[in-house]
Amino acid sequence: MHRLRRFRFDYAVTMGCLAMLSYFAWHAWEGPRGFAHREELQLKLAELQSKNDAIAQSRATLESKVALMRPDHVDPDLLDELARSQLDMAGANDLVVRVTP
């Protein structure tokens, strides 16, 4: 009789452990933080890294333009381009001849 009770207890503990193991295995595979979700996160990470690279490249371009407009040294070509585009000093097809005194 004691042996049968011990067998039932061992069987119940084994089934409980298997149930818990299957519960955690299912969540590891299909759950909200499982392997499928990890793949989605990796795709999203790759997309965000490409956006970050594009933004970094745009920032580098803007920083180089800003460096050309520093007060101690102004690039004459950039100044001419800005005067034409923003101040409408000359049209796009106009020929501007500079006369230096």
Average pLDDT of the residues in 5-32:
88
Of the candidates 92, 91, 64, the residue with the CA atom closest to the CA atom of residue 78: 64
Confidence label for 46 from pLDDT (cuts 50, 70 and 90): very high
**Across residues 54-78, what is the average pLDDT?**
84
**Is the pTM for the entire model greater than 0.85?**
no
74, 80 contact by CB (below 8 A): no
